[in-house]
Amino acid sequence: MAEKEQERLQTESVQENLNTETAAEENYEVCFQAEDVSQFMAALDEKGRLLDEMTDRYKRLQADFDNFRRRTRQEKEELSIIVTERIICELLPIVDNFERATVSTPNDVTALATGVEMIFRQLNSTLTQLGVEPIIAVGNMFDPAQHEAVLRLEDSSQPDGMIVEELQKGYKVNGRVIRPSMVKVVGN
């Protein structure tokens, strides 16, 4: 029993020491010299000034970027209009020739066919000048980047993937596919 009493007294003593240390820490006060305080305040003011300057620069940069984005969008729209106008100007002589062909009343069907062939050649020439080229499909192997397979044919005399018929011609503009060829492909 005496041992238990002694342990209790030791525990109370340790707790009193801890309470005394905690109280001392709570009452601990930090003191600075006046010039240290003024240096801290000057540094704080400098940081505040830098923050205001960076915030202002950020806002200006954001406004510049918004203006750039708006200006770029406008330029793209204007460029699209200019390109469209150029294409239309290139195609208008062909339209004029079609109008002339429909207004005239040729008695000879071969003369009409010859006129339509000439207009077709003129159209192909104009498209070539604009960078349009047909995709060659028949006799080539199927390429999903240039062809669209719509029918499949079994033919043991042809290798798999060979294009045997073109149902609709495909076109590229300056090397970029704008319409894939619709094709019939061998699939054994």
Give me the chain's average pLDDT, please.
87
Q: Measured between alpha carbons, how far is 153 from 166 in angstroms, rounded to an integer? A: 13
**pLDDT band for position 59 (50/70/90)?**
very high
Percentage of residues of the chain with pLDDT beyond 70: 90
Domain chopping of the chain, boundaries = 33-130, 132-187
Of the candidate CATH numbers 3.30.2130.10, 3.20.10.10, 3.90.20.20, 3.30.470.10, the domain formed by 33-130 belongs to 3.90.20.20
Asked if pLDDT for residue 118 goes beyond 80, the answer is yes
Asked if pLDDT for residue 183 goes beyond 90, the answer is yes
Q: One-letter amino acid identity for 3?
A: E
Cβ atoms of residues 181 and 168 within 8 Å: yes
The reply to whether CATH 2.30.22.10 applies to domain 132-187 is yes
Structure tokens at 81: 């209009």
pTM over 0.75: no
Structure tokens at 114: 């010859």
- Average the pLDDT over each of 11-25, 41-55, 101-115, 160-174 and give the range with the smallest value: 11-25
